[in-house]
Amino acid sequence: MSTESVAVEDLTLEDAAAELERLAKEIARNDALYHGKDQPEISDADYDALKRRNDAIEARFPELIREDSPSRRVGAEPSNTFAPVVHSRPMLSLDNTFSQEDVRDFVASVYRFLGRLPDNSIAFTAEPKIDGLSMSIRYENGRLVTGATRGDGTTGENVTANIRTIKEIPNELPKGVPSVVEVRGEVYMAKSDFMALNAQMEAEGKQTYVNPRNTAAGSLRQLDAKVTASRKLRFFAYAWGEMSEMPADTQMGMVETFKSWGFPVNPLMKRLSSVDDILAHYAEIGLERPDLDYDIDGVVYKVDSLELQQRLGFRSRSPRWATAHKFPAEQAFTIVENIDIQVGRTGALTPVARLTPITVGGVVVTNATLHNEDYIRGIGNNGERIREEEHDIRIGDTVIVQRAGDVIPQVLDVVMEKRPAEAKAYEFPKVCPVCGSHAVRERHEKTGKLDSVTRCTGGFICRAQATEHLKHFVSRNAFDIEGLGSKQVDFFFESEDPSLQIRTAPDIFTLERRQQTSLTKLENIDGFGKVSVGKLYAAINERRSIALHRFIYALGIRHVGETTAKLLARTYNSYEAFAAAMKEAETLSGDAWNDLNAIEGIGEVMARAIVEFYKEPRNVEVIGRLLDEVKPQEAEQPVTTGSPVAGKTVVFTGSLEKFTREEAKARAESLGAKVAGSVSKKTDILIAGPGAGSKLDKARELGVQTMDEDEWLALIGG
């Protein structure tokens, strides 16, 4: 019998020790799930029960209290109860570059976008990329009013009280600063402060922290600002949000201004013009890295001129005018203990290496994805060799594991000298390990190429596909239903009780009604409780009205990620219009099909996947039931008050003289226009430069308004 179910009074000394060990691990694991991934597997009540059991055992056997006991962890409970703050300007992330070649490409792309020759005339700043937490600090009339974490980039957490305790951040700005100032930068913990803190923790017999970044994060997310104050946090200013007035017109000028206002800025920031100088500065910062008193993971390059930054603008998540040049990844040796197969939402069978735990760059790695059958054999996505011939990955092999930044760990290579004699080549399963259906590699219709992914053919009958589908549906960027985590989805899916079962998305929304007339009450089931059930229903009901792009994303159509879902929502405006168009596009020809393909950012593979999805009667049936419960809102069009082209569909053709095609497109989109690649009945304006051909003819034929580049510029105001 396992010690888990033995009452505290009945535990022997030996059992108690084993049980404390189990609890320490289990609580730490749930802490990580809760804080790290925001995906708790157990209810708050169950979590509390674990902690209470730990305390009770410790009270009975004080001699057994462990070094890593959960009861010794002070303030390990950052809370999720900070108020949300919507950022006045989104807090974006940066694209990563890993090689000198990538950096050259980045610089070249800046010149290309602006239609300029690469003549070293554009200046860039280069500064360390600090490994901390980005923060937005707002001042009104010179006084600090809000400190907010980045969050998802749109909405962060209000940590003002904690930010005020950071001495390096001024509470007041000098006289004469603009009335609204938002300074952005990185909060971090110095390596020396981190080591001193850990030495103190150790002396007090408390658990030590893993790395400065996590400690800084944990310190900031304390509800009690006194705890934050006791940790020495620091700050570097390097960016800004809303500014009622711009005090400078370059990146460097802005940072110098922040310095004059009392903010710490990084002393290694330099302004450079040639790629060679930029790379030399990267090498220099790399050399200094071990001696710096803070962790950095790369060098950030930014176009210095703010006017050019504005022209370059943004892609969906990151600016075109900046990139992060990461330092090379860190590597370590470990052993492949096993290879497991995970079945995903689309039936993809993904092999995962279970590794002997190893620390790589300060993080413990226990799993690494092996991607697919070919990858295990040493073959890349385009049929190329990625490892030497015999270096296929086998259970028992010693391998080199690499971790670069936030990227998931990779198995780089096999150490052949250490291969055990009995190690056999891994045999990839031919059937789905979950439902037993055939697992096949599809062949590409046109190219005849074998797909790298092995897929379960079980579709809806496969438990893994169905539950993964539901987990995707309730996930953060889809329906975002709090209280329906992975564990709960599995529970509802497996339940045999008709008043509890959730097999498809609409069932989520009928749960409360089914429960009302049922005798098996959810609140009496272990791990739920009255309060959490009430919260769950409230979270579900809150989503009965939902943004269109979230709704489309949640459907889980293959290849349709968030960005595509947003494009579709913006293009079709309402769910009815979208669904009707997809039905009409079923024949892969005609206006609806052409319109879908004309959306910039949607290629044929995606277009096909969407149409195929709507051809499947079961999908249509499930969506029908879902629409009885949920109302997708009309898409929000970008705020473009006063824009004469908002909501218009425009097409550029021929050569443009004042802008590159890319810039013209970005500009039109920022004014709320939709830019399509081909002319159809839906086109409102065709902008034709010299050399325009068939598109111009077609536009004339369809009676679409046409204009040249100058007329277009006059229309959008220069």
Q: Contact residues for ligand IVH (CB under 6 A)?
A: 92-94, 127, 129-130, 134, 150, 186, 238-239, 300, 319, 322, 324
CA torsion angle 236 242 246 247 (round to 10): -30
The answer to whether 100 touches 279, Cβ cutoff 8 Å, is yes
Q: How far apart are CA 109 and CA 103, in angstroms?
A: 10
Residue 306 CB, nearest approach to ligand IVH (Å): 12
Which one, of 373, 424, 413, lies nearest residue 391 by Cα?
Answer: 413
Closest CB 219 distance from ligand IVH, rounded Å: 16
Query: Would you call 54 helix, strand, or coil by DSSP?
Result: helix
Complex with ligand IVH: residue 238 or 493, whichever CB lies closer: 238
Is the distance from CB of 237 to CB of 184 less than 8 angstroms?
A: yes
Output the smallest distance, CB 281 to ligand IVH, in A: 13
> Which tokens belong to 706?
């046409």
Q: How far is the CB of 91 from ligand IVH (least distance, A)?
A: 6
The interaxial angle of helices 604-615 and 590-598, nearest 10 deg, is: 130
Distance CA 307, CA 612 (A): 45
The DSSP letter of residue 265 is -
SS3 92: coil
Under DSSP, is residue 437 helix (H, G, I), strand (E, B) or coil? coil
The answer for residues whose C-beta is within 8 angstroms of residue 481's C-beta and 6 or more apart is: 474, 508, 536, 539, 540, 543
Residue 88 near residue 182, CB atoms below 8 Å: yes
134 versus 372: smaller Cβ distance to ligand IVH: 134
Q: What whole-number distance in Å separates Cα of residue 628 and Cα of residue 622? A: 10
What backbone phi and psi angles, to 5 degrees, belong to 73? -80, 110
DSSP 8-state class, residue 359: E
Spatial distance between the Cα atoms of 411 and 395, rounded to a whole number of angstroms:
13
Distance in Å, CB of 291 to ligand IVH, minimum: 18
Q: Which of 329, 699 has the CB closer to ligand IVH?
A: 329
* Burial class, 215, CB count within 10 angstroms (exposed 0-12 / middle 13-18 / buried 19+): buried
3-state secondary structure of 325: strand
| Annotated catalytic residue, options 25, 129, 167, 270 | 129
Amino acid at 108: A
Q: Is 414 buried (19+), middle (13-18) or exposed (0-12) by CB count in 10 A?
A: buried
> Among residues 133 and 671, whose Cβ is nearest to ligand IVH?
133
- The residue number with the shortest CB distance to ligand IVH is 134
DSSP string, 312-372: H-B-SSSBTTEEEEEPPPEEEEEEEEEEEEEE-TT-BEEEEEEEEEEEETTEEEEEEE--S
Q: How far apart are CA 38 and CA 78, in angstroms?
A: 12
Which CB, 236 or 375, lies closer to ligand IVH?
Answer: 236
Residue 115 Cβ, how far from ligand IVH at the closest point, in Å?
Answer: 23
Residue 82 or 294: the one with the smaller Cβ distance to ligand IVH is: 294
Shorter beta-carbon distance to ligand IVH: residue 278 or 565: 278
Contact in structure between 558 and 565 (CB atoms under 8 Å):
no
195 vs 211: CA distance, rounded Å: 9
Q: How many CB atoms lie within 10 A of CB 203?
A: 8
The SS3 of residue 208 is coil
Query: CB–CB of 324/298 below 8 Å?
Result: yes
478, burial (CB in 10 Å: exposed 0-12, middle 13-18, buried 19+): buried
| Cα gap 17→330, rounded to integer Å | 36
Least gap, CB of 510 to ligand IVH (angstroms)? 41
Q: How far is the CB of 125 from ligand IVH (least distance, A)?
A: 9
Nearest residue (CB) to ligand IVH, 153 versus 380:
153
CB of 664 to ligand IVH, least distance (A): 23
Nearer to ligand IVH, 254 or 610 (CB): 254
Q: Give the nearer residue to ligand IVH in terms of CB position, either 11 or 92.
A: 92
With contact defined as beta carbons under 8 Å apart, do 379 and 385 qualify? yes
DSSP state letters, 172-195: BPPTT--SEEEEEEEEE--HHHHH
Cβ proximity to ligand IVH: between 201 and 252 the closer is 252
63: exposed, middle or buried (Cβ count in 10 Å: 0-12, 13-18, 19+)? exposed
Our answer to whether residue 424 is catalytic in this structure is no
Q: Of 13 and 407, which CB lies nearer to ligand IVH in the complex structure?
A: 407
3-state secondary structure of 309: helix
Active-site residues: which are they? 129
